[in-house]
């Protein structure tokens, strides 16, 4: 017998609908029985009214509990404090991760070349935006100012992670991208890579995806365990987020855009 502790499956109980309450006995009274007294009828009416009041109270309580639970779940998924001006456009959907997404025509999985570079350029074109100071005041934070107004330079967190992934991709092909880089600059780039690796580690733990990964036997005679991903994940609709940021993008390479200290 296995000594491993297995986590038991507990199905979510469907909330009992008020429509499912058993009121069938309402139709069982014989209202035409001549032997029933007026006081008996009055008692029956009062009983029915009391029962209906209890039913309505149960319904109201059920709705209240449902709304409280829904609010609690929403709080778990969506922060209640205004952390970002993009909070309102966040939507979630079920997404299956492709185990072999790095194969085929994925431009991000190509070796160095125009296709790869253009793909990264397009993905990061909304990287920098400007926000009103109030978005940072609530955190006692500040940032570089735009030269033509009160706006402060910021970027959404997803772009820093994408930037780090681009850095790692280039480091993987450093003989191509950094072949002429001086030794001192190459060492600085290596430090940058370590920063990116640590940042992505922390970001993964921050989200702590609890979606279950399964296993199958593969290889010669089924000698190797391989991971499978048959269960969908709840993911932010990244297209909405990136489009929102792209519509507000600031080109920081343009002369005179930023206010220098």
Consecutive 10-residue runs of the chain (261 residues): their mean pLDDT? 59 49 42 49 62 67 59 51 86 96 92 98 98 95 94 98 99 97 97 99 98 95 94 98 98 94 75
Contact status, residue 236 vs residue 89, Cβ threshold 8 Å: no
Integer CA distances (angstroms), 184 to 101, 179, 180, in order: 36, 13, 12
- Interior/surface letters 78-100, b for 16+ CB within 10 angstroms, e for the rest: eeeeeebbbeeeeeeeeeeeeee
Predicted pLDDT of residue 76: 53
Could you give the 3-state DSSP secondary structure of residue 208? Answer: coil
What interhelical angle do 183-207 and 157-172 show, nearest 10?
A: 130
Which of 35, 15, 195, 178 lies closest to 112 in space, CA to CA?
Answer: 178
- If you ran DSSP here, which 8-state letter would residue 234 be given? E
Q: What's the N-to-C CA distance of the chain in angstroms?
A: 70
Displacement of CA 239 from its chain's centroid (Å): 13
Predicted pLDDT of residue 261: 75
Predicted pLDDT of residue 154: 98
| Residues forming a β-bridge with 228 | 214
Element (H, E) at 61: helix 38-77
Predicted pLDDT of residue 21: 44
The pTM (predicted TM-score) of the whole model is 0.72
Predicted pLDDT of residue 31: 38
Beta strand segments in the chain, E: 92-95, 129-131, 152-154, 214-218, 224-228, 233-236
Predicted pLDDT of residue 111: 96
| Residues forming a β-bridge with 153 | 130
């Amino acid at each position: 017998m296995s000594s491993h502790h297995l986590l038991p499956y507990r199905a979510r109980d469907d909330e009992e609908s008020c429509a499912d309450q058993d009121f069938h006995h309402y139709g069982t009274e014989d209202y035409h029985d001549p032997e029933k007294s007026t006081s008996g009828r009055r008692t029956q009416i009062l009983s029915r009214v009391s029962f209906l009041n209890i039913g309505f109270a149960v319904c109201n309580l059920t709705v209240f509990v449902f709304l409280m639970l829904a609010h609690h779940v929403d709080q778990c998924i969506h922060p209640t404090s205004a952390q970002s001006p993009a909070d309102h456009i966040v939507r979630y959907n079920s997404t299956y991760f492709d185990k072999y997404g790095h194969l085929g025509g994925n431009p991000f999985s190509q070796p160095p070349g125009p296709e790869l570079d253009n793909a990264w350029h397009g993905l990061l074109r909304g990287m920098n935006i400007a926000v009103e100071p109030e978005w940072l005041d609530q955190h006692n934070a500040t940032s570089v100012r735009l030269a033509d107004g009160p706006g402060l330079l910021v970027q959404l967190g997803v772009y820093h992670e994408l930037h780090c992934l681009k850095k790692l991709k280039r480091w993987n092909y450093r003989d191509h991208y950094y072949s002429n880089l001086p030794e001192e600059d190459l060492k600085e780039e290596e430090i940058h890579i370590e920063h990116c690796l640590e940042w992505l580690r922390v970001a993964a733990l921050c989200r702590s995806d609890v979606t279950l990964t399964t296993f199958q036997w593969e290889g010669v005679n089924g000698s190797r365990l391989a991971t499978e991903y048959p269960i969908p994940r709840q993911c932010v609709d990244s297209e909405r987020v990136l489009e929102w940021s792209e519509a507000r993008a600031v080109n920081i390479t343009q002369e005179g855009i930023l206010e220098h200290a």
